[in-house]
Structure 1
Amino acid sequence: MPVRRQSVLRVSAISLMVGTVCLLGACALSPAGKSGNARVPEPAKPVDLSRYAGRWYELARYENGFERNCEAVTADYAARDDGLIDVTNSCHKGGVDGPLDVAKGRAKIVAGSGNAKLKVSFFGPLFFGDYWVLDHADDYSWSLVGEPGGRYLWILTREAKPASDVKAALIDRVRALGYDTSMLRTTQHD
């Protein structure tokens, strides 16, 4: 076989492999559920990342494949020296006493977003998903997180079990942002 034809075949095979990996990555990051908000709003205000850092407890979420059967969900954020943010998501599979499942990733800030839009990856350097801090309390006691497709939504709080009036106010805020609150799944914490 001539050298030129071998090179063309090698380049074609590499292109096919890269294309397949990119397609699989896009499927892995593509939201699987239906949209709960056809008009996702832009984030309401900038985010002070030093105040956003630390532990958050998931109060409620739109169900998604990567959190299936997860309870006692937490998310920890920490600034890195290289300007990125470490993200550690933890949950207990099957119930609050179930086995611990931990996913570690990193996030980068989207320029010009007031730190309210991040790109987060748990799959390596090539595949990043959108993470928008849609709104947060002035004291950073709660945060509403989504993405532009309206298929993912998380209500996060600094307490595992906030007061019932706080829960109701957060659900009202989510509704005011245009989200279908009937799609919310409450997360159990012990």
Structure 2
Amino acid sequence: MRAHGRGHGLRALSRWARCLAVAGLVAATAACSGPPPNPNPRAAVPLQTVPVDLQRYMGRWYVIANIPYFGERGNVGSYAEWSLRPDGRIDDAYVYRPERFDAPLKRMQFVDSVVAGSGGGEWRVRLFWPIYVSQLTLYVDPDYRVTLLGYPDKSLGWVFSRDPDMSDADYRAALGRFEAMGYDTSRFRRVPQFPSQLGQPGFQSPGDGN
């Protein structure tokens, strides 16, 4: 029993060490490759969330564009799937193909919590315990077909759509909303949802990022 307890303790310590290593890597990446200064004159204006009908908000959302970062850089055909749990939290799946459309689908699973008093517009996303990040809903259209998500310091942003394709006019309108909120919209790149979009101007490529 004593040996078994010691082995269990060593395995737990090993898991904790791996978590700390990943957290350290995230912190080091942010420190060494942070975003360039935001030239938008409204850069310092705090972001404001919008209220969200969580039942209508659930389901699949395709990633139309984002500010590339190491967690999503180079992925294609990506989308999020949100499902409301009985306890009020949200199962959050990020599904993608790495770099190529013939690559197998990969899936990352998170658990999100709605911040009290936010009207459903701010979520705490648990990457892994004890690391959480904030996700802000900055806009959702009346039909719940397009939504814009952001991060408090405006270093990250996403354009989501219920459809995998978005017209250039609608995309420009989405960037206009981000511009009005103080984002540096030159940093956004569209995410290929179809093979024909690979290599096209304005679309993310595997080497693109902060």
> Which TM-score band applies after superposition, normalised by the shorter structure?
0.7 to 0.9
Aligned to 2:114: 109
| Structure 2 unaligned residues grouped into runs of 5+ | 1-12, 195-210
Deviations for 1:69-103, whole angstroms, at most 9, x for unmatched residues?
11111000000112110000011101333232210
Question: Which residues of 2 match residues 1-190 of structure 1 at below 5 A?
Answer: 25=23, 28=26, 32=30, 33-34=34-35, 36=38, 37-43=43-49, 45-123=50-128, 125-190=129-194
CA–CA separation in structure 1 for the residues paired with 2:131 and 2:112: 11
CA–CA separation in structure 1 for the residues paired with 2:69 and 2:112: 20
CA–CA separation in structure 1 for the residues paired with 2:71 and 2:94: 11
Aligned CA distance change for structure 1 residues 24 and 155 (closer, same or farther; 3 Å)? same
Aligned to 2:203: none
Once the 2 structures are TM-superposed, how far is the Cα of residue 58 of structure 1 from its aligned partner? 0.7
CA–CA separation in structure 1 for the residues paired with 2:29 and 2:83: 25
Aligned CA distance change for structure 1 residues 34 and 50 (closer, same or farther; 3 Å)? same
Preserved CA contact (<8 Å) 1:55 1:76: yes
Tell me the amino acid that sits aligned with residue 87 of structure 1: D
CA–CA separation in structure 1 for the residues paired with 2:178 and 2:93: 24
> Cα RMSD over matched residues?
2.5
Once the 2 structures are TM-superposed, how far is the Cα of residue 136 of structure 1 from its aligned partner? 1.1
| Structure 1 unaligned residues grouped into runs of 5+ | 1-13
Deviations for 1:135-175, whole angstroms, at most 9, x for unmatched residues?
11111111110111211100111110022221121111111
Preserved CA contact (<8 Å) 1:71 1:94: yes
CA–CA separation in structure 2 for the residues paired with 1:29 and 1:91: 24
Preserved CA contact (<8 Å) 1:56 1:157: yes
CA–CA separation in structure 2 for the residues paired with 1:169 and 1:111: 30
Preserved CA contact (<8 Å) 1:96 1:188: no
* Paired positions, count: 173
TM-score with structure 1 setting the length: 0.81
CA–CA separation in structure 2 for the residues paired with 1:26 and 1:138: 41
What is the percent sequence identity of the aligned residues?
28
Preserved CA contact (<8 Å) 1:107 1:119: yes
Preserved CA contact (<8 Å) 1:26 1:127: no
Tell me the amino acid that sits aligned with residue 80 of structure 1: R
TM-score with structure 2 setting the length: 0.74
CA–CA separation in structure 2 for the residues paired with 1:31 and 1:39: 25
CA–CA separation in structure 2 for the residues paired with 1:71 and 1:134: 24
Preserved CA contact (<8 Å) 1:38 1:150: no
Deviations for 1:5-59, whole angstroms, at most 9, x for unmatched residues?
xxxxxxxxx9xx979956853753788341654434111x201111110000111
